[in-house]
Structure 1
Amino acid sequence: MTRQRLMMAALLITAIGVFFLSGAHQWFTLETLKTYQSDFQTAFNQYPWQVAGAFFAVYVVMTALSLPGATLLTLLGGALFGLGWGLLIISFASTLGATLAFLLSRFLFRNPIEKRFPRQFAAVNRGVERDGALYLFTLRLVPVFPFFMINLVMGLTRIKTVTFYWVSQVAMLPGTAIYVNAGGQLGDLESLGGILSPTLIASFLLLAIFPGSPGALCCWCSSARHIKVLPDPHTLTTTLW
């Protein structure tokens, strides 16, 4: 690993270490958000642009560093900004942060891993060149694949950065809309597992497998509408951060 990569890796490890050692991760719980929701709302009412800008910056940084808490930030954004502005702000913040994580993974790890496994990655990159956009689209839609892991793994491939960005922007919209909408009912949420129902997950699978099908189009439309949050904890728990 070159000196530049070592310095970058050291900075990332330091930033992540500070996040956990300072106890900042303890703020990213559903109970904490519900406790301080009124305080956040008061601050936003008084300083809307400053709060929105700070929220955007924090979301980008946390996503770029692959820190836990993106789902909770999305709920908070929905509670503060509403569905329209919340979806706009979070869609761009999440995609920008994901792209930065993608570029960090590419800069730090792609060359060393390609040299270590040349044959395997040659085959992977041939597939990415042929079906990379559709493959990424599918991964983004299926809510069982961790958000941060997709960013890091795709950075190891040779998919173009601009392709990674626009596919992520489009494919993450349905899931983002659901979580932003759920943020409007933040005070009633009992767990994150109550947000995604088995029916919604099946709809995402349909959209991923048949992106041009009528059922897929219906899923796109329904994801942006008001979706009732299911309070029952027996529903599937998302693995997305």
Structure 2
Amino acid sequence: MTETTEPATNPILKKLPLIIIIAVALFGAYFLRDYLSFEALAENREALIDFRDANYLLTVLVFVAAYVVIVAFSLPGATIATLTGGFLFATFPGALFNITAATIGATAIFLAARWGFGETLGKKLEDTDGAVKKIKDGIDENQWSMLFLIRLVPAVPFFLANLIPSFLEVPLHRFAISTFFGIVPGTVVYTSVGAGLGDVFARGETPNLGIIFEPQIIFPILGLCVLAAMPIVINALRGKKGL
């Protein structure tokens, strides 16, 4: 009796989703930057409001789908999309629509990267010795904390926060849950800014996108970062005591 083995997956085929994402991202960065901008939102605000009032459910579905595409393909305009969610749907349910769409889009990048080369890289890191292996083991022991930290810290680019976990064999459910809840603070802030765009447009001004770094906003977020980091610190201290 002969054993049958499954044919190996073509390496190019495995990388195809990520290649498509990168290609579309480059295309979008060059051709779509003027269409996914604050100026474009300001110019089309009345048409958007009229369409929303006439087709609320359809507007929600189209908006969420567009937001997913923007995040999944790393197109320019994610911040503008978040502001638009607040402008069209108020802070709530706008924040819920924004968080849901961003999580779905982030998950798409995560899966594409992991399928393309994340699993292979993760196994290579697992098989190494020395400092690299220790770093990976440390991350593995504190995955929840690390995942929430990279979402909460405003300095970590969203695109990198989607890619890094795919290299470290993070389970899909952990990635999705930590993304959904980890982006809540920042998303609510920007959605609330979007909810006030009517007055900003009336004054002919631009929104203050640096609001997230103001003390009353950044300090509570940093507090959440400290809470997320506590398990890492505790595990490190326990490790030292065990030496």
Pair in the same fold by TM > 0.5:
yes
Deviations 1:161-180 (A, max 9, x none): 10111111112111111111
Q: 2:209 is matched with which residue?
A: 193
Q: Give deviations 1:97-141, integer Å, cap 9, x for gaps.
A: 111111111112224534665536533432232101111111211
1:142 equivalent in structure 2: 153
2:187 maps to amino acid: T
User: Which residue of 1 is the match for residue 38 of structure 2?
Assistant: 30
List alignment gaps of at least 5 residues for structure 2.
1-9, 231-243
Per-residue CA shift, 1:61-104, capped at 9, x if unaligned? 11112222111101001000111110111111111111111111
The match for 1:238 is none
Distance 2:223 2:57 in 1: 38
For residues 24 and 187 of structure 2, the distance between their equivalents in structure 1, rounded to whole angstroms, comes to 26
Q: What RMSD, in angstroms, separates the aligned Cα atoms of the two structures? A: 2.4
Match of 1:44 in 2: 52
Residue of structure 1 equivalent to 2:221: 204
CA distance in 1, matches of 2:46, 2:94: 17
Distance 2:212 2:181 in 1: 19
Offset, 1:52: 1.0
Structure 2: how far apart are the matches of 1:168 and 1:10? 23
Report how many aligned residue pairs link the two structures. 212
Counterpart of 2:236 in structure 1 is: none
Once residues 162 and 55 of structure 1 are traced to their aligned partners in structure 2, the CA distance between those partners, rounded to angstroms, is 25
User: Is residue 167 of structure 1 aligned with residue 184 of structure 2?
Assistant: no
User: 1:61 aligns to what?
Assistant: 69
Question: How has the CA–CA distance of structure 1 residues 195 and 138 changed in structure 2, closer, same or farther, with 3 Å as cutoff?
Answer: same
Are the structure 2 counterparts of residues 82 and 110 from structure 1 closer, same or farther at C-alpha, using a change threshold of 3 Å? same
1:181-232 superposed Cα distances (whole Å, 9 cap, x missing partner): 110122415245343233122321121112599xxxxxxxxxxxxxxxxxxx
Which has the greater radius of gyration?
2
Question: What TM-score results when the alignment is normalised by the length of structure 1?
Answer: 0.78
Which TM-score applies when normalising by structure 2? 0.78
Report the Cα distance in structure 2 between the residues aligned to 1:192 and 1:113, rounded to whole angstroms: 40
The runs of 5 or more residues in structure 1 that have no matched partner are: 214-241
Which of the numbers 113, 132, 136 marks the counterpart of 1:105? Answer: 113
AA in 1 matched with 2:218: I
